[in-house]
Structure 1
């Protein structure tokens, strides 16, 4: 059966993404690099999947704190945007490394992109479906008969997998093409909206509840966490060029160095969230101060505590992501991939070397005792 998606929200939402809170704005372009880099440092370019925001705090912190320079690298961070597919930029040879979600890259790999996940930075998924408590939506099964929002564009798979696991068909819901904001949800046009823990969820908590005159509170919301539902997919990872890894020993060595310094950057961000948020703001993000700090703190929760060391790719989590990518259908009946990805799609070789070096230096790569900070959100995230 053909399923139609209703469009609701901002007209031209995709072209307007850069202006929305989800993305923030930047005036710095691709000029973020170590300021004291000497000519003896190896130039490296990292492609982000979105513009400057604390979702990428560890990389900005690694530049700012000189961790890349300590490894002999002069790193430039290229911001992403709605028209940039980071894995394609990497596969084309235009950058050295890229940050992207695993399911999105699996589709590109099946189309011929020869790239490798060399460090799975986010161990947990940040994608949720949120609703106001009066809707009584606490599990995927409760979505039946509801108006459900989804961004689409590769962000929908955990939602669809969760529904299919719970026996909820697309015919059982009213699927709404959700704009990249929470306006339709806040106005009551969407019962259950897609939200990242580090961004859109906070946007709701930064909004005044007209019934109380105060900001919305967590107890006003129910959250479906795809980690709990068993349909979480691996998200932000460091991707490298597979051909270069196999043929260029210098590139392979630099990959270890890049991962090592990046992990140190993420440890810094987790332990010094206010400083890290400030570093990202200085890099050009226009997100408000409390929102930026919230994002830094929430992103750290996706990394720490680490099960096997930051960046290690868990085989079970990888297999689950591949299984969902092969067997979950979207509203058009399509799946992300049709066959298993090649063995080169991921490798723990380089992150293992990086972790061994860090542990030898006395660095805590597990964050077992790490605890998030308490963040007070202000109206509008300011």
Structure 2
């Protein structure tokens, strides 16, 4: 995987950062023509958490089996690059952020975005309220934490747009997979996902009061507001295999089951939280409910249907990948993506299939919940 735009001292990749019906008995499987389910492997981007609840639910509730598929979820981790696993033929599909996957494509990975599940970015840069940091330009002269390995692209894009040179105008600091460096005031601003690390701040106790910190204690730079957001969790397929009609139909079926899984988690957030916890997540129940709620915000409502790749958002992601420079002057991409970088052909067919089965694929009436966090996210 191409590893540009990396602070020098980063240790590992991070992402601790994403129905119809009720939690009834799964529907009867619909096997293929041979009567057997087709085995499928999906490589996730990180450890089990609500970021992947829709896939977990689709397995648990039998939505993939309805499509004649037997889907095995492959848990991610520190040393696992999903798009590489896919390109090497060790998985049939993978979940990965678009700029990171495009960087891998430029290096030769034969992969195609066939379903843009997250329509919105969930990346923040968080600072203390009294720091005066409210926008990217305010990071000048500050100690700025980030995870690296492709998770920092939006941060660098935001700084570049604000006229800052990441190599000269800020001090880049290796950030661990928690928010302790910010809480201890060792850095001025920390990278956080809306659905994970930001919640960790609100699960921590304020030593001055003994109560949990509140949103008012922090200021948030949202890259969507700054205009430097990039597309994140997408389903990637093997480009060469998309020439095979059987793989094409399999992709439609897989996406149809995935759509139903995410629709289920939209309408049954607590049930999906429980599925994720039961799957072995190390994060607590209130934290996972927060994560489920925030992930739903990144997906729903989906005006064009869940998973459809918006052309303007794609172009913005590519343009930022071509123009944003890191501290050494490198960019994410050196040229426009070549070949079949993305296609809406299969997700559109899957949406048609899902709608015919009565699935609400737009979630127009979606309303997020109010989630009460507890100490440590328990």
Q: Please, what TM-score do these two structures have when normalized by structure 2? A: 0.91
Q: How far 1:48 sits from its partner (Å)?
A: 0.5
Match of 2:126 in 1: 130
Match of 2:298 in 1: 302
Q: 2:82 aligns with which of 63, 79, 86?
A: 86
| 1:22-33 superposed matches below 5 A | 22=16
Match of 1:115 in 2: 111
Runs of 4+ in 1 over 4 A off after TM superposition: 3-7, 34-39
| 1:1-382 superposed matches below 5 A | 14=12, 22=16, 40-170=36-166, 171-246=168-243, 248-382=244-378
Q: How far 1:292 sits from its partner (Å)?
A: 0.9
- The question of whether the paired residues in 2 share the 8 Å contact of 1:53 and 1:287 is answered with yes
CA root-mean-square deviation: 2.1
- The question of whether the paired residues in 2 share the 8 Å contact of 1:37 and 1:74 is answered with no
CA distance in 2, matches of 1:256, 1:177: 40
What are structure 1's unaligned runs of at least 5 residues? 24-33
Q: How far 1:13 sits from its partner (Å)?
A: 5.5
Match of 2:24 in 1: none
Q: How far 1:4 sits from its partner (Å)?
A: 11
Q: Report the more deviating stretch, 140-149 or 200-209.
A: 140-149
CA distance in 1, matches of 2:30, 2:177: 37
Q: How far 1:145 sits from its partner (Å)?
A: 2.1
Q: How far 1:5 sits from its partner (Å)?
A: 5.4
CA distance in 2, matches of 1:230, 1:14: 27
- The question of whether the paired residues in 1 share the 8 Å contact of 2:28 and 2:62 is answered with no
Deviations 1:227-255 (A, max 9, x none): 11111000000000010111x21111010
- The question of whether the paired residues in 2 share the 8 Å contact of 1:181 and 1:200 is answered with yes
Q: How far 1:198 sits from its partner (Å)?
A: 0.5
Deviations 1:176-201 (A, max 9, x none): 11112111110001111100000000
SS of alignment partner, residue 340 of structure 2: helix
CA distance in 1, matches of 2:274, 2:363: 22
Q: Please, what TM-score do these two structures have when normalized by structure 1? A: 0.90
Q: How far 1:22 sits from its partner (Å)?
A: 3.0
Deviations 1:224-281 (A, max 9, x none): 10011111000000000010111x2111101001111101101111111110011111
- The question of whether the paired residues in 1 share the 8 Å contact of 2:16 and 2:46 is answered with no
- The question of whether the paired residues in 2 share the 8 Å contact of 1:130 and 1:193 is answered with yes
Q: How many pairs are equivalent?
A: 361
Q: How far 1:6 sits from its partner (Å)?
A: 7.8
